[in-house]
Structure 1
Amino acid sequence: MARRIYTAPPDSGQVVLGKTLPDLLYEACERYAETQAFYELRGDGWIPVSLASFREQAEDLALGLRGLPLERGDRVAMFMESDVPFCIVDMACLLGGLIDVPIYLTHAAEALQYVIAHAEARALVVSNLTLLAQIAPVLRDTPTVETVIVGELEPGGRVPVLPEHVRLATLREMQAEGRGVRAADPGRLASLRAQIHPHDVATIIYTSGTTGTPKGVVLTHENISFNALTSFSGLAGYTDGEEVGASFLPLTHIFARTLQYGYLATGSTVYFTRPDRLSKDLQRIRPTFFATVPRVIEKVYGRILERATTLKGAQKQILNWAIALARRYELGREPKGFYKAQLALADRLVYVKWREALGGRIKYIISGGAALSGDLANFFAAAGIPILQGYGLTETSPVITYNRPYLNRAGTVGVPLPGVEVMIADDGEILTRGPHVMQGYFRDEERTREVIDDEGWFHTGDIGEFTDEGFLRITDRKKDMFKLSTGKYVVPQPLENRLVTEPLVEQAVVVGSGYKFCTALIFPEEDALRTFAASRGLDPAMPLEQLVREPVVLARYQELVDKANEGMDHWMQIKRFALVPAHLTVENGMLTPTLKVRRSRVREAFADQIRALYDGEAPEPRTAEPLAAGAS
């Protein structure tokens, strides 16, 4: 029997093809000439950058880069902060017919060297001397790099020693050289633009991934422009030229970058900020729209629940009542009668304050990069904060499916993008085909053939299913599933998702491959744990290693594990867990830049704790057994 191919429902957006990425800039300049499109974070404030200024700076730099000389199709590596200069350098490369290669700032030296060498980059752009000092040592082993361009030379800053053959320049110097080219040859820029084609390669993005060597994903102008323009066309209520966004995700990742092109094309104003400033900046920016990863939403939810534990009397009762109402809400089902009236009252008393904490003007939040709990989507929707969960990969530019403002279901990642086909393989793997699929992996035909079949279907490596309404639900990563020694397969994500929505849990990793039963490593949310400890009469200042061994603490986490186990097949349930006094971060290599857990590295780093969980192997208890574990 032929497998069903799923496509976008009617009136869910418009297919837009045939655009280069510079087309988006020039068309925006014609439509929104006076727009202050970008706000660059400087100190504790922002500096506005108009569309016209952005275009001029990108044009000057494009001419300067081509005068190095760099030839059409040459690669330019970018080791840059996620800010306006990143966008300028990116657009300059695109205008110049160059291929940019953004590099994650969290890469170790070995990965930095691999990406630059594998891409055969001829130029490298870095934001500042701090980043230059970080990457300079690897340039000895990347002989193709001939020019290093630094964004800012801080007064008195120390310039690291570079190989003799490498020229050092600043962005301003390159732009000045570009202005000289423009003056000497006024038609040069138009000539460069005329050579750009929608099917030209725009960028090579090396996926950080959760395992293995980085792969260079080759994306064209049309891959990305189609994805950005078609995605934004389905956002009902999004008003071109009027929206205000907050950008804090890494632009090295295709999720934030495609959104940035969408913002540009629609004349939106974007304030750049950082995750550590987000809480206070949202209230200053007052965005109508922003994109995030689920971990940020989970933390907001955790703070709400934690707040409920610190209040007393009537305030505590009102907040708990509002939380209980929000937990009952279900997207796609209109509230009625007394429940509807209760929600309206809760909105006036409580939910409005939650919205004010996000700036007070949020129309919706886009969530991507990892799975978001359906309970959280329902919870925030009840409070007038719609979260639109989407799904995609770097290899798909990235959007495959997403929930629309008027087509939103909790626990799903929405319906397909117009022009995109999605199919579920016999083994449950999600396949997709369309103009969003990459050209392949750079200089790696074997890996490309492994994921793109002869009919053009890209094999995502994710397992999923469609609901009766046509919404895609992700059940797990194909690679994350593991097999117990009993022969049963375990899907870890549902259990982990339940645990990380608890305020006391920062991260949870379910393990058990090759063993008789499942166990879990639980990494506590330290601030919430210390607050809990104080509420139970413990010293909240005691070392974390000691705190996780306290019986009252272990008992509380056992309650959370037992709650997560409810309704799960018995072989999927967590039988033992270790409470680990450590933090998983991007900086220590345990998380990807989109905050997904690198399972293999966690298993390696905490191998002793995992072995301790299986000492004596055995149990078939109905509740999990706690074990406090030291950090590695």
Structure 2
Amino acid sequence: MPGPIYTAHESAGPPMLGKTLPQLLYEACEAYQNPRALNQPEGDGWAPMSLDDFRERAEYTALGLLDAGLNRGDKVAFLLHSDVNFCVSDMGCLIAGLIDVPVYLSTAPNQMQYVIDHAEASALVVADEEQLSVAEEILPQLPRIHTLVLCETDGEKPSPSLPDDVSFFTLEEIQEKGKTSTSDVEGAIDDLLDKVHPQDLATLIYTSGTTGKPKGVMLSHENISYNATTSISELSGFEAGPDGEVAISFLPLTHVFARALQYAYMYKGISVYFCHPDNLVDALPKVQPTAFASVPRVLEKVYAGIQKKIMEMEGLQKTIGTWALGVARQYRMGEHASLPFTLKRKLADALVFSKWRKALGGRVKYIVVGGAALQPDLANTLAAAGIETLQGYGLTETSPVIAFTRPERNKPGTVGDPLPGVEVRIADDGEILTRGPHVMQGYYKAAEKTEKVMSEGWFHTGDIGEFDGNFLKITDRKKDLFKLSTGKYVMPQPIENELGSQPLVDKAIVIGNGRKFCAALIFPTEDQVRAQARQLGIDDSQPFEELLKERAIVDVFQELVDDANEGMDHWSTVKRFALIPDELTVDSGLLTPTLKVKRPKIRDAYADEIDALYEESPSPERETKRKAVIVA
């Protein structure tokens, strides 16, 4: 029998049900007048768009798309950057009763083509002339597409080579069509809004998938509106309106996490500044955000940067930096601190921690982390410096939030308690099950796959977890569990997460299915390894693969592995590892667009390294075709 049902904390507010996504916009426009609601990157700054301008452009887009030949219920695919154009196009579709299908720009053209074709899209909206060239390549294989819309041009409207039956417009032309399509724009919009209902399908979001073809997740207006508004309302102290919080947005709106949060920001009428991840470091001090969403890897890189900077300091500066970092590592969120430690922390804050906060803009109140596990030690270290992280958990299929830590109930190592309206229970095999208004309508054109993950209203997440009081803790991914030849089952994620949180490690993959013991493929972070080499007096200019053979460097990684092994069942510990001088990327096909590891492809790509790890008597340094370092 599954365990007890867990729900929101007794102090939580009510679930916010029964709203369409356009309703969130119109309620925000009634409540707030924000001249800088959406801010588009432009040169060294941002071009602002008011909340009312956003509403008007979305309305014209809705009317223009319908005037161009689309009908309610049609699918519109997006090849868009995560910026204002995405928001306008998306809201335009939602007002018009169209279903949008965002496509990851990082995927290969044939994968884009698959998603657009499977979704049966009638129109395609592209960001710029670069994406227009992708459209030219794939449109001949997409006979259902009859309308193509280009958001931005480099000058005059281009003349792409398109199939004869495809009509081509700029977004500005679509909006002008909408503006002139009727003498009563307000009445036409009211008619459209009356036809949109909370249970209507709003979007198809294709999961990137670590194996097989991506699946189209069907999310309704209420799925997302409930999740977005209820989540943001649970953030105590969140200030709404133009003088309230300021957010910076750099995660992909193609993913439901960033997108739902954008609807929440819109609903609260705050200012949002869009930014490409590569420009984040420069943007933070300019925007000075009070809130943003992140994935753990971004914060791990921030922490790695801090450590690297301290490593490269000299004299008194280095002594102070090292001491302050040691103080931060001792901090434990929620635990009573002694007076001596409190005084040390205050001194460290004045000398060092204030500079960490300044690098993030100096005003951050909330960093909401999702997409993967945030290591407790990192959460505690940042909290010591006055940088609080809130860990959330969910999936595309759950719109996305199932649970998250609140500012007043923040326990590192957990993902907090469930959202109001959400039910969670743990199955007999440890799998996390959830039920509520956040659960998807199903997978598009895949009834059998939907049935596999749904049972009596409960969605099977595929994640393994447990409850610590009312706090949910994720321990592993069900499909990542493997069995050793000894019959013992291994959960790879605890060690992978521990190693992956170290600045020297970019990725770590624990292996051992059908083998006698666990081993690991470790992909080091090159600039951190070179900095470490300088510290050890090793020539850091040599080729990376040669640097990884240095005994002192290998010993440093051995210490990291030993530390990660601590507290684990002996059969789960990593006995041998390979240091591999490669970087796992989306382009290589070894990571999904959401940066999840494709384990089967990793095993194929590094078969030689894996075989070498399991030789009876491996040499301490054996070269494979990739010159990996093998350590007994």
Provide TM-score, normalisation by structure 2. Answer: 0.96
SS class of match (2:367)? strand
Offset at 1:42? 1.3
SS at 1:5 equivalent = coil
Moved more, 114-123 or 34-43: 34-43
Structure 1 CA distance for aligned equivalents of residues 509 and 2 of structure 2: 37
- CA gap of 1:276–1:34, structure 2 versus 1, over 3 A, is closer
The one-letter code matched in structure 2 to 1:406 is E
Kindly report which structure 2 residues correspond to 1:29-48, keeping only aligned pairs within 5 A, or say none: 29-48=29-48
Question: Is the 8 Å Cα contact of residues 354 and 385 (structure 2) preserved in structure 1?
Answer: yes
Counterpart Cα distance in 1 of 2:621 and 2:558:
6
Q: 2:213 — aligned with what?
A: 213
**Quick check: 334-343 or 178-187, which moved more?**
178-187
- The answer for the alignment partner of 2:413 in structure 1 is 411
Match of 1:460 in 2: 461
Higher deviation after alignment, 395-404 or 518-527:
518-527
CA contact (8 A) 2:403 2:472 kept: yes
Distance in 1 between residues matched to 2:271 and 2:429, nearest whole Å: 44
1:556 corresponds to 2:556: yes
CA distance in 2, matches of 1:388, 1:290: 11
Please give the per-residue CA displacement for 1:100-159, whole angstroms capped at 9, x wherever unaligned: 000000111221111111110000000011012123222222111111111122237865
Q: In structure 1, what is the equivalent of residue 93 of structure 2?
A: 93
Q: Where does residue 526 of structure 2 map in the other structure?
A: 526
CA contact (8 A) 2:545 2:581 kept: yes
Task: Identify the residue that residue 305 of structure 1 maps to in structure 2.
Answer: 307
CA contact (8 A) 1:533 1:553 kept: yes
Secondary structure of 1:16's aligned partner = coil
Q: Matches of 2:123 and 2:390 in 1, distance apart? A: 38
1:356 to 331, 355, 358: 358
**SS where residue 152 of structure 1 aligns?**
coil
- Which residue does 1:369 correspond to in 2? 371
125-134 or 33-42, which deviates more: 33-42
Residue in 2 aligned with 1:20?
Answer: 20
Partner SS for 1:259: helix
Aligned residue in 2 for 1:222: 222
1:316 corresponds to 2:318: yes
How has the CA–CA distance of structure 1 residues 43 and 353 changed in structure 2, closer, same or farther, with 3 Å as cutoff?
A: same
- 8 A Cα contact 1:72 1:96, kept in partner: yes
Give the counterpart letter for 2:289 in structure 1: P
For structure 2, list consecutive stretches of 5 or more residues without a partner in the other structure: 628-632
| Distance (whole Å) between structure 1 residues aligned to residue 353 and residue 186 of structure 2 | 57
1:257-296 superposed matches below 5 A: 257-296=259-298
Hey, what's the Cα distance between the residues in 1 that align with 2:401 and 2:143? Answer: 36
Structure 1: distance between partners of 2:342 and 2:215 = 50
The alignment yields a C-alpha RMSD, in angstroms, of 1.7
Q: 254-263 or 176-185: which moved more?
A: 176-185
Alpha carbons of 1:85 and 1:66: their partners in 2 closer, same or farther (altered >3 Å)? same
* 2:630 match: none
* Contact 1:254/1:397, CA 8 A, preserved across alignment: yes
Which one is further off, 311-320 or 347-356? 311-320
Give the Cα separation in 1 of the matches to 2:336 and 2:621. Answer: 42
Counterpart-to-counterpart distance in 2, 1:170 and 1:50: 22
Number of positions where the alignment pairs a residue of Structure 1 with one of Structure 2: 625
Q: Deviations over 1:580-609 (max 9, x none)?
A: 111112232222233222222222222222
Q: CA deviation at 1:534?
A: 2.5
- Offset, 1:185: 6.0
Partners of 1:590 and 1:43 lie apart in 2 by 34
Aligned to 2:253: 251
User: Matches of 2:483 and 2:622 in 1, distance apart?
Assistant: 23
The alpha-carbon distance between structure 1 residues 47 and 630, as it changes in their structure 2 partners (threshold 3 A), is: farther
What do the CA deviations read for 1:19-71 (whole angstroms, capped 9, x no partner)? 11000111111111244101100122100010011111110010000112111
Residue of structure 2 in register with 1:471 after alignment: 471
Asked if structure 1 preserves the Cα contact closer than 8 Å seen for 2:179 and 2:185, the reply is no
Distance 1:156 1:170, change over 3 A: closer
Q: Matched residues in 2 for 1:35 and 1:395: separation?
A: 34
Code of the residue aligned with 1:467 in structure 2: it is D
Task: Look up the equivalent residue of 1:353 and give its one-letter code.
Answer: K
**Residues 35 and 48 in structure 2, CA contact (< 8 A), matched pair in contact too:** no
Indicate how the Cα distance of structure 1 residues 281 and 3 shifts in structure 2: closer, same or farther if over 3 A, else same.
Answer: same
Counting only pairs closer than 5 Å after superposition, residues 87-486 of structure 1 correspond to structure 2 as 87-155=87-155, 159-183=159-183, 187-241=187-241, 242-453=244-455, 455-468=456-469, 470-486=470-486
Q: Is the 8 A contact 2:223 2:399 kept in 1?
A: yes
Is contact 2:2–2:428 with CA below 8 Å preserved after alignment?
A: no
Closer/same/farther in 2, CA of residues 321 and 12 from structure 1, 3 Å limit: farther
Give the whole-Å Cα distance in 1 for the aligned partners of 2:287 and 2:602.
37
1:312 CA drift (Å): 2.5
Equivalent residues of 1:578, 1:628 under 8 A apart: no
Q: Which amino acid aligns with 2:547?
A: L
Residue 598 (str. 1) matches residue 612 (str. 2): no
**Equivalent residue runs for 1:559-578 within 5 Å:** 559-578=559-578
CA distance in 2, matches of 1:551, 1:160: 57
Residues 286 and 31 of structure 1: CA distance in aligned 2, closer, same or farther (over 3 Å): same
CA distance in 2, matches of 1:574, 1:88: 49
Q: Do the aligned partners of residues 72 and 599 (structure 1) sit closer, same or farther apart at CA in structure 2, a change above 3 Å counting?
A: same
- Structure 1 alignment gaps of length 5 or more: none
After TM superposition, what 4+ stretches of structure 1 lie above 6 angstroms from structure 2?
none
Q: 1:161 to 1:490 in 2, by over 3 A?
A: same
Alpha-carbon distance in structure 2 between the residues aligned to 1:285 and 1:308:
26
Q: Tell me the distance in 1 between the aligned counterparts of 2:157 and 2:608.
A: 44
Distance (Å, rounded) in 2 between the aligned partners of 1:392 and 1:178: 37
Counterpart amino acid of residue 194 in structure 1: D
Q: Would you say the 8 A contact 2:34–2:270 is kept in 1?
A: no
SS at match of 2:462: strand
Matches within 5 A, 1:483-522: 483-522=483-522
CA contact (8 A) 2:34 2:269 kept: no
In structure 2, the residue matched to 1:4 is 4
1:41 partner SS: strand
What percentage of aligned pairs have identical amino acids? 55
Q: Which moved more, 1:42-51 or 1:306-315?
A: 306-315
Q: CA, structure 1 residues 530+105, in 2 after alignment: closer, same or farther (shift >3 Å)?
A: same
Q: CA offset at residue 400 of structure 1?
A: 0.1
Distance in 2 between residues matched to 1:212 and 1:582, nearest whole Å: 24
2:403 partner letter? T
Change over 3 Å in CA distance of 1:603–1:2 after alignment to 2: closer
CA distance in 1, matches of 2:226, 2:165: 40
Within a 5 Å distance, the mapping from 1:70-85 to structure 2 comes to: 70-85=70-85
- Aligned letter for 1:38? L
Task: Summarize deviations over 1:407-437 as a string: whole Å, max 9, x none.
Answer: 0001000100000000000000000000000
Secondary structure of the residue aligned to 2:329 is: helix
Deviations 1:551-597 (A, max 9, x none): 22222222221222222222111111111111112232222233222
CA contact (8 A) 1:14 1:234 kept: no
CA contact (8 A) 1:549 1:628 kept: no
What SS does the corresponding residue of 2:523 show, helix, strand or coil? strand
Change (3 A) 1:414 1:590: same
CA apart distance, 1:91: 0.1
Alpha-carbon distance in 2 for matches of 1:260, 1:326: 32
